Chains A and B, each alone.
Chain A
Amino acid sequence: MTRPRPITEEKVLETVRQNIADALRVPVEKIAPETSLVQDLGAESLDFLDINYRMEQSFGIRTARHFVIEHIEELFGEGAAVDESGRLTEKGAEVLRLRLGDHAELKAGMALEDVPALVTVGAVASAIRDILDTLPEACPQCGKSEWISQDGTHVRCGACAAPAPYATGDDLVRDWLRRVQDEKKIF
């Protein structure tokens, strides 16, 4: 079953790039899917909060408050993703490779503080897309399947005007982790 997609793929990427450009004060042309927010654009920790905030405002969504590593530790126990010296475990690295793509430096023993450097524009866009993809077929308020978007990014029901009921970023990360665990039995 294909999900309803009132927001075009182009609009998602365009908005993500524009938000990142605005938050980091860099020209939008410098922002490609493979661009690293930290290494290429100089993002710092506060910038990640700013970027998330802008995405939430743009799309009417709620992005994850906690990074995937925090969720792993919460779901699968302390020490599951990070060892006592603040370094990634083999299992933690395996999950992050699934999440952030294959990076040469992404392996057991990597310092936790170096992980944000692996986050690319593409990974941010993909997390946003995952949230937008949770739009149900029919409006839970009135049962109609008439999602519309006037500005291209905010979605509401064309019949009863209810705002789009997306899952939150944190819920999605948790669901994703449970699926990964079911399939691969990592932990």
Chain B
Amino acid sequence: MALRARRVAVTGLGMVTCLGRNAEETFSRACRGESGIDFIRSFDTSGLPCRIGGEVDDAWLENADLSRLGKLAKFAGRGVKMLVLAAEEAAGQARLDGIARRDRVGVALGSHGENPSVDEMRFVLSFYRGDGTWDLERLTKAGGYPYSIFFRRKPDIALAVVAARFDCRGPTSSIASACAASAQAIGEAYRYIREGKAEAMIAGGCEAALNYAGFAGFVLIKALAERYPSPQQASRPFDRKRSGFVMSEGAAALVLEELEHARARGAPLLGEVLGYGDSADAYRITDTHPQGEGAFLAMKAALEDAGLRPEDVGYINAHGTSTTQNDAVETRAIKRLFGERARSIPVSSNKSMLGHAIGAAGAIEAGLTLMGMRRSVILPTINYEFPDPKCDLDYVPNTARRLDHAIALSNSFGFGGQNACLCLGRTAD
């Protein structure tokens, strides 16, 4: 007899988003269909064709108690600080520090490192002579280049800080795959546990790229919403008048744990990761595969991994970015996998309210999907006004819906064609 695969429960959940300083606040505001999008205040956007984003309130970060980070704080940029707060929420709920064998607790995170600020770039460049040489003497006199900036820019720093802060000595994985990053981190963490490499994992991700260097690139490739009656109405997944995504920032962390291990120590059971599928479009950098081949493969793989059939799925938490291409292609891929049944499965996009937090989006949305299952609530797709014939599914328009559902898929597709799909389940306590 084949050994029954180890099951992976979720025992902790935390997030910091433009809608809330924790998971509860984010979920309840999303439940009311509120938008976290507004004009960007953190840098001067004048002259840019997109001037909006989903910023996390600076006061939340300033008032948060990060004292337990100690010396690590100087290596934690804005995104990593949010991630530590989210992980504190998740680890506290899971009572993660109660697990004695720290070599059996690991970390898997999706993060991309912090962009240099314009001031940092100006400072360094002022010592560049323009001929390939540097005025090191003057730079040294000015205090030198702060080495903490070097660390904050590295995509692996989030992992180092979180592992040290929470004393996780097990396996680690640092994932940089754009919009799929933190969903893939959860998927990899789930694999570590299922394969017996760890008993528990902190899994999630962060993104804080609402600064000039992080924003301008997306403006240049015309990926952002440029036509909108108000900031709050700009992110409109699946709506005919969508014109691009709205960038936001945030972080989310889950504690994943082997189910029997969690039961034995009485940890809260918030849900279960039932399966994970990932794939690559192997196609183009920003265009998605026109038939949604990669999205289809990822969803199919997640279901197969979970040992489930399409008819078992009660809800799909869509990637739903509000770009013309993604929403039509994702719809096509869902219809290909679910056939006639596709129209009767609720599909909604949290990005309509939260914007697109890039590397953090997958973990935020997985968290909200789990919360929705436990409360029998499907979060809405707000700003849904004008139906698009190419997007003809049930997108749970504008108001949350009360619906009992036990199995959900959560999609995250990255620029470059990295696709991740998590199959999540509601686990009874």
Chain A contact residues, CB within 8 Å of chain B: 44-46, 49, 65, 84-86
Instruction: Determine the main DSSP class of A at the interface with B.
Output: loop
Q: Does B287 contact A (CB under 8 A)?
A: yes
B324-375, CB < 8 A from A: none
Instruction: Identify which of B221, B240, B386, B388 contacts A49 (C-beta below 8 A).
Output: B221
Instruction: Identify which of A46, A65, A84 contacts B284 (C-beta below 8 A).
Output: A46
Q: B239 to nearest A CB, angstroms?
A: 12
Residues of A within 8 A of B388 (CB): 84-86
Q: A22 to nearest B CB, angstroms?
A: 17
Complex-state Cα separation, A45 to B388, whole angstroms: 22
Instruction: Identify which of B220, B222, B284, B389 contacts A85 (C-beta below 8 A).
Output: B389
Interface pairs A-B: 8 shortest CB-CB: A85-B389, A44-B284, A44-B287, A46-B286, A45-B287, A46-B285, A86-B390, A45-B286
Residues of B within 8 A of A44 (CB): 284-287
Complex-state Cα separation, A85 to B328, whole angstroms: 12
Residues of B within 8 A of A46 (CB): 221, 284-287
Residues of A within 8 A of B386 (CB): 84
B284-305, CB < 8 A from A: 284-287
Complex-state Cα separation, A80 to B322, whole angstroms: 22
What string of 1s and 0s marks CB contacts (under 8 Å) between B150-193 and chain A?
A: 00000000000000000000000000000000000000000000
What string of 1s and 0s marks CB contacts (under 8 Å) between B385-397 and chain A?
A: 0101110000000
> Which range holds the interface residue count of chain B?
10 to 19
Q: B59 to nearest A CB, angstroms?
A: 37
Known: A44-B287, A45-B286, A86-B240. 13 other contacts (CB 8 A): A44-B284, A44-B286, A46-B221, A46-B284, A46-B286, A49-B221, A49-B222, A84-B386, A84-B389, A85-B389, A85-B390, A86-B388, A86-B389
Complex-state Cα separation, A166 to B194, whole angstroms: 63
CB-based nearest A residue for B240? A84
Query: What are 21 A-B contacts defined by CB distance under 8 Å?
Result: A44-B285, A44-B286, A45-B286, A45-B287, A46-B284, A46-B285, A46-B286, A46-B287, A49-B220, A49-B222, A65-B49, A65-B222, A84-B240, A84-B386, A84-B388, A84-B389, A85-B388, A85-B390, A86-B240, A86-B388, A86-B389
CB-based nearest B residue for A74? B227
Q: A84 to nearest B CB, angstroms?
A: 6
Residues of A within 8 A of B285 (CB): 44, 46
B213-265, CB < 8 A from A: 220-222, 240
CB-based nearest B residue for A85? B389
Complex-state Cα separation, A65 to B222, whole angstroms: 9
B371-413, CB < 8 A from A: 386, 388-390
Q: B8 to nearest A CB, angstroms?
A: 38
Complex-state Cα separation, A44 to B220, whole angstroms: 15
CB-based nearest A residue for B220? A49
CB-based nearest A residue for B243? A70
Residues of A within 8 A of B286 (CB): 44-46
Complex-state Cα separation, A73 to B59, whole angstroms: 42
Q: A105 to nearest B CB, angstroms?
A: 17
Complex-state Cα separation, A46 to B285, whole angstroms: 8
CB-based nearest B residue for A46? B286
Complex-state Cα separation, A50 to B222, whole angstroms: 12
B258-274, CB < 8 A from A: none
Complex-state Cα separation, A84 to B241, whole angstroms: 9
Q: B79 to nearest A CB, angstroms?
A: 26
CB-based nearest B residue for A70? B227
CB-based nearest A residue for B284? A44
Complex-state Cα separation, A49 to B49, whole angstroms: 16
Complex-state Cα separation, A96 to B356, whole angstroms: 34
Complex-state Cα separation, A161 to B284, whole angstroms: 43
Residues of B within 8 A of A49 (CB): 220-222
Residue from B220, B221, B222 having most chain A Cβ neighbours under 10 A: B222
